[in-house]
Chains A and B, each alone.
Chain A
């Protein structure tokens, strides 16, 4: 994906600057990784790169994507008037306008209000158009992008283990985020999700569009060290296209780093991207419920926004598996939403509803009602409640395995 000639000139400089500006990371660690770059075969890079981000391969695609990202920002402006409208509706029904309700209660009250529903409709329509535009592009150029991945499959640094026979759990076969094919069914799931994720971040994060993986870099920098400071092996569960995985390797260059996910197209793209960045990480198509690694193999087991994509029983299995994998004194740090319960302001509940139902997040309500921390402790971990959240706004679950 990334052109080496461009990369050599810019990645070290840009990522070092970003590293220094955003994370305080020492510049030499990143430069060290950038200089390991090899000359990839079959590489497609149509419009050059900006730092570690390969530019969107077509100007019209970039232009439309730019619009959808801008519209996503604009869409937030529906929130204030829609929230006021919700409060007026509650008031008109003799209820406290700020009352905390369940999702179902909120939906029954505001289901037929056009202003409120326009806020959901615009969000969902923009999301659908974004995905369609991105996915259509890669499908129209399928042969060249599949060939590019094929050329990278067996190339390094790093390894890729694909398992077309993997028994993929049904709960993750949904078109999560309404992305065509979801995490498992779109041959270009990695390409599409990468860009869609950037657009999403651009609308919610002060760190911008995340083209330089700023968010993952900062998240990883905020992870604690084990008490004995030994970090030899790290696992990123449900790694998607491996943004956190590569950031982990960049922070811990001496460690053996693994990313696992059930989505073949996601890790395939992730491997190609890591190879292009010259980052030596291993990707495997495996389930977080049954990772096949030895007991106590990892010093750190982590994940980002994995758990809310699973039903409770699967989460319990993942926590149990994490406990099996972490060595005594090591830790499990799953990064996901706070499990804040089932009651909230009616408009917040409305937004949760359309995210759950129409952005296809089937398991989020179940997850936020789940005693995640309690289950982690039940598995045998001690949660260090003094640890800051690795990703601000998300839950801090620094679960140390008893020595």
Chain B
């Protein structure tokens, strides 16, 4: 049994739950292969997210007269730099932390008395 890890003084009305063991599933014979597949999908999400944001930005910039050269030569402030690094780390975490997962249950593993 598990409990929400959210730290808050506010009421959440969340109850205990039985955690799934999906993190342990091995479909591809070797957990590393499984993890790489997950990473690949996550990477796709990040790449597409940026491309879609860029579409919004470019559309707005074009309306406001901001040129491509102005974008190329922009110098971030130290504050921006720090903030962007933080976001880069979140990106890396989402994309590559699945590589660290240690799955060990074959796909055909039935529910056991403990997890049902």
Known A-B contacts A60-B53, A125-B38, A128-B38; the reply to A354 vs B6 at CB < 8 A is: no
A122 near B4 (CB under 8 angstroms)?
Answer: no
Interface residues of A in 177-194 (CB under 8 A from B): 178, 181-182, 184-187, 189
Given A64-B45, A67-B49, verify A175-B17 contact (CB < 8 Å). Answer: yes
Is A332 an interface residue when CB atoms closer than 8 A count as contact?
Answer: no
Stretch of A5-13, A110-118, A220-228, A297-305 that contacts chain B: A110-118
CA of A118 to CA of B28 in the docked complex: distance in angstroms?
7
Contact between A181 and B17 (Cβ–Cβ < 8 Å)?
yes
A264 in contact with B13 given A357-B111, A358-B25 (CB within 8 Å): yes
**A247 CA to B27 CA, complexed, in Å:** 40
**In the bound complex, do residue A185 and residue B4 qualify as a contact, i.e. CB atoms below 8 Å apart?**
yes
B109 contact set on A, CB distance < 8 A: 357
Q: Is the interface of A mostly helix, strand, loop or mixed?
A: helix
From known contacts A142-B6, A181-B4, A185-B3, infer whether A265 and B12 are also in contact, taking CB-CB under 8 Å: yes
Chain B 16-65 residues near chain A, CB threshold 8 A: 16-20, 22, 25, 27-29, 34, 37-38, 41-42, 44-46, 48-50, 52-53, 56
B116 at the interface (CB under 8 A from A): yes
On whether the beta carbons of B94 and A133 are closer than 8 Å, the reply is yes
Tell me the nearest residue of chain B to A187, going by C-beta: B12
Chain A residues in 8 Å Cβ range of B28: 114, 117-118, 121
Give the residues in chain B near A129, CB-CB below 8 Å: 38, 41-42, 45, 94
The answer to whether A118 and B37 touch across the interface, beta carbons within 8 angstroms, is yes
Interfacial chain A residues near B6, Cβ < 8 Å: 139, 142, 187
Query: CB within 8 A of A185: which of B17, B25, B34?
Result: B17
- Give A residues with C-beta under 8 Å from B: 59-60, 63-64, 66-68, 70-71, 107-108, 111-112, 114, 117-118, 120-122, 124-126, 128-129, 132-133, 139, 142-143, 146-147, 150, 162, 164, 166, 168, 170, 173-175, 178, 181-182, 184-187, 189, 264-265, 268, 285, 353-354, 357-360, 362
Listed in ascending order, the chain B residues whose CB lies under 8 Å from chain A are 1-4, 6, 8, 10-20, 22, 25, 27-29, 34, 37-38, 41-42, 44-46, 48-50, 52-53, 56, 94, 98, 106-111, 116
What are 29 pairs between A and B in contact, CB < 8 Å?
A63-B48, A63-B50, A67-B44, A70-B48, A71-B45, A117-B27, A120-B27, A122-B37, A125-B98, A129-B94, A143-B10, A164-B15, A173-B17, A174-B18, A174-B20, A175-B20, A182-B20, A184-B16, A184-B17, A185-B2, A185-B14, A185-B17, A187-B4, A187-B6, A187-B12, A265-B12, A357-B25, A357-B107, A360-B20
15 additional A-B residue pairs with CB within 8 Å, beyond A178-B20, A184-B14, A186-B4: A63-B48, A67-B44, A68-B45, A108-B108, A111-B108, A121-B38, A124-B25, A129-B94, A143-B8, A173-B16, A175-B22, A178-B22, A186-B14, A187-B6, A265-B12
